[in-house]
Amino acid sequence: MKLFVLNGPNLNMLGIREPAIYGAQTYADLEAYVRQVCQREEIEVEVFQSNHEGVLVDIIQSAYGKADGIVINPAAYTHTSVAILDALKAVALPAVEVHLSDVSQRESFRHVSYPAMACLEQIKGLGFQGYEKAILLLKDHLSK
């Protein structure tokens, strides 16, 4: 089983950006956490981060034929990107959307998610553990 884990804009600034919302751990910590969960679950993983919408679209397209599922935190593109929604629909791989913060408790513009329309579930407000939940959800889904 192979998963792609994708992270969108400004997540490379974890540890520096708004620590009251996103915590003190860095992006390197997040990547290490995801790799450790996947190793434990015997899942192959490729982890990506980009600040560019088109690059995220390219990575989603490249998952076709390579990955069995996608975990995605589209970050700010969550609330704007029809292109990311369409890319997820195009490859038609099972996907789960993750947010570190609870977007439903923040500004109203964060309540809208385009990519979530192509995802099995949206997980929010669990910090790094949201990624673990998404990985386990996809593992369970793919094992059926």
Residues classed as catalytic:
22, 99
With contacts defined by CB under 6 A, how many residues of the chain interact with ligand DQA? 10
Place of tokens 């996608």: 70
Determine if 99 is a binding residue for ligand DQA (CB under 6 A).
Answer: yes
Positions 108 through 127 that interact with ligand DQA (CB under 6 A): 110
* Interface map 2-41 toward ligand DQA (x if CB under 6 A): --------x-------------------------------
Nearer to ligand DQA, 6 or 75 (CB): 75
Determine if 103 is a binding residue for ligand DQA (CB under 6 A).
Answer: yes
* Total residues belonging to the chain: 144
Nearest to 124 by CA among 77, 50, 48, 73: 73
The string over 82-106, giving b where at least 16 C-beta atoms fall within 10 Å of a residue's C-beta and e elsewhere, is ebbbebbeebebbbbbbbbbebeee
Sequence-distant (≥ 6) Cβ neighbours of residue 52 within 8 angstroms: 9
How many CB atoms neighbour CB 36 within 10 A?
A: 11
Q: What is the DSSP letter of 63?
A: H
- 36-44, 49-57, 72-80, 83-91 -> range binding ligand DQA (CB under 6 A): 72-80
Determine if 73 is a binding residue for ligand DQA (CB under 6 A).
Answer: yes
Residue numbers at the binding site for ligand DQA (CB under 6 A): 10, 73, 75-76, 78, 99-101, 103, 110
